Amino acid sequence: MTKTFFITSSGTEIGKTFITAALIHQMKAAGKSIAAFKPLLSGFDEDAVAETDTGILLKALGRKITQNTINEMTPWRYKAALSPDMAAAREGKTIEFDALIEFTEAALRGGDDFTLLEGVGGVMAPIGQAHTVLDWIGAAQCPAILVVGGYLGTISHTLTAAKTLEAAQVPLAGVVISARGELPVSPEETAAAISRFLPDVPVAHLPDCGSQDTAWRNAPDLLGDLCLLHA
């Protein structure tokens, strides 16, 4: 039976794609078959696809970057690096929520050991006139992995996102602290504080792994820290 996870975040530009790529790499190394999708992306650059979220995930999967694989990975792509609803509006388009859910359901029905679905922005980012990422996660009906930062204020943002998911009855499979740059406290301290309030949720922390384009290969054992192989 395929295990499915929705990778979401407490905000934007925190590290969802890096974590997703690291999970793909580690699952493949563990001998597991895996599929991954980033259905919706704003800030897509046609001239630098390899550097976009779509290109990074395709590289982690070991798939060539072609027009077909781009379409399969990310059918909804917008140029402006804004919330999806705003980015789509800049191009005179709207995001059809029902079509997004139909694509999501088909993606999650695959026969691989694992399927990862990476969202866009944070839990409450708008993806249309009347829907947010939270609605998307709820419709996907799979557990969420919450990626958060190590900055001052992240504990509040993390717990707010976690409570929002809980209120929507979305199971929280784990929290990953993406500890990049200079931090006010150690990620271990941040993880301990989060765990006091989420005692039943695995909390992992990811050190700064460098800036090279395949740095996700250097990530520590997220599968073990999040207990995903036995989820």
Q: What is the C-alpha to C-alpha distance for residues 82 and 86, in angstroms, rounded to an integer?
A: 6
Hey, CA dihedral for 31, 23, 222, 123, is it positive or negative?
Answer: negative
Q: Which of 3, 16, 38, 59 is catalytic?
A: 38
Asked if 122 and 8 touch (Cβ cutoff 8 Å), the reply is yes
For 19, 52, 58, 96, the CA distances from 84, given in Å and listed in that order, are: 21, 15, 21, 11
**DSSP secondary structure, 67-130, as one string:** HHHHHHH-SEEESSSS-HHHHHHHTT----HHHHHHHHHHHHT--SSEEEEE--SSTT-B-SSS
Catalytic status, residue 38 = yes
Q: List, by residue number, the catalytic residues.
A: 38
